[in-house]
Structure 1
Amino acid sequence: MAGGLAAGLVAGTATCTATQGGLMMGLAGDGHGRDPALVAWFLAGRLASYGAAGALLGLLGSAVSPPPQARAVLLVAAGLTVVAYAVRIMRRGRAACAPATPTAQVRNAARYRAPLLGAATILVPCGVTLGIEMLAVSSGSPVAGAAAMAGFVVGTAPAFALLGYVLRHVSRTRLARLAGVVAVAAGLWTVGAGLNLGGWLSAPAPAAGPGLAAARMVDGTQSVTVWATREGYRPAMVSARAGVPVEVVFKVADRGCTGTVTIDGRDVPLPATVRLPPQPPGTLRYVCGMGMYTGFIDFS
């Protein structure tokens, strides 16, 4: 639990609020986003879903972790949901400036929606979340797994509470439209991350010239070294020979969302060495667990 708490406070605050905070836009519409208790309900739903997921991961291991393709679909769906909430807030921007008292029916509906939105954040994992999930898997205990995930939620709770405070006050002013524009951009970014994670974006043409890093041969096997940094993978593109086995040695320069890589259809925590069978001519894409940063190996 202490490990999850530390990860939430130190590393998860920025990445999780950026990735999952858009779902809180659903609390700021219809005039009922002014209720501060809704943020508490949101965080309670988040704590419940993360604790349950941690218990399952600790009990059953990685078998219950969604594969990269499934996470990609969830990211696209979450991004579209954020865009829908943002458009709704922009359309209600003027009305939000006027004092309004939500009806009891609206308040009750919001109380149900808030924990559901909080629980849904487990479906949109940030890079640090993936690391905590792997910690829960390695614990081999449902109690330890739930404790790690719960500690992580507690560590990120202050940032989400602050975001909820900002959204409540912005929704009462003409800044609601500006906040909506920012949220639309965040939603589209999430959609793009999902498309990238799913491999549904076209790969760029391989760069030409002497600056392109090349694999080296070691005992009949090609070897590629890639560094994971906070800004992405370096080198971002490497050339290799098709039809020859290759091993990709991932090393970690900086801890961040690039610490988990999705390659050849599976998630790999770094540092690690990934061995690939002979590949056909073409470009192999690998991405971080959030779909933010991409690297390529060009086989020719």
Structure 2
Amino acid sequence: MRFYQATTFLFPRSYERRILFVCFGAVHIPLIACIVLQAATGHWQLDTLLTLLVATLAGTVMGLAAIHALLAPVGQATLMLQAIQMGERIQAIPQGADDLVGRLLSGVTIAANESAARIERLVDAAERDPLTGIRNRRGFLDSAEQVLRGRSNAVVALIDIDHFKRINDDFGHDTGDVLLKSLARRIEDHLRRSDIAARWGGEEFAVLLPDTTLDEARLVMERLRATVALDTDLGVEDRAVTFSCGLAPVRSFAQLGDATKQADAALYAAKNGGRNQVQILGL
């Protein structure tokens, strides 16, 4: 470290150039010593000096090129570490030998893997509802943006548990939490892998059904509604649990906001129409 710090005045912003400069000077020591000796003795041997000069220049060029190539992995490791600090993912990490550079690359590999895993955990925690374990609103929107890219037909559904406040009042919030978790599992079990389910907020859930028409989505939601209404294992003793649902078509992520408002209006109509039903506005 002392020599490193002592030589920082040489190319302060380029460690590589500093090494090349030091090596350049070291390679020319024999030539300088020969010139000094011949000058001191007064016996000049020009052929010897010329041969030594050519050999020194050739060795300098080859040495500098080799050092530049050997330092390339260090520069690459530095760029990868900067990318990791900025939260970027490292796609390919070169493997080194069992030497100083190899250990540096190995350390970068470990740091990259740990950083990627930590980012994934943070993203997952930010996009998951802590109670039910399914996506939250943010996770729903992020996933919907990917799913709706290039899609032509999709349906968004908003689900609201009927009389949820009464359940909380009669049986307590713990029972309400159990019901939310149970219903979240029923929703996910009932859907396809390509569908997206999320807790929209409170007792509301959102579902996105890609490549689905309104009629198909209505059949899916009606089957789910009937299944839930007949399920006696949702955590509410001796009381049937029902939900109301509103559907709306969506053709792109840009239309999702308007489609969600339309589905919410249909859900409101289902609530006003007696609950325990699936509604589509205009039908």
State the TM-score bracket (shorter-chain normalisation).
under 0.3
TM-score, normalised to structure 1's length? 0.21
TM-score, normalised to structure 2's length? 0.22
Question: Hey, which of these two has a bigger chunk of strand by percent?
Answer: 1
Q: Which has the higher contact order (CA 8 A, sep 6+)?
A: 1
Bigger radius of gyration: 2
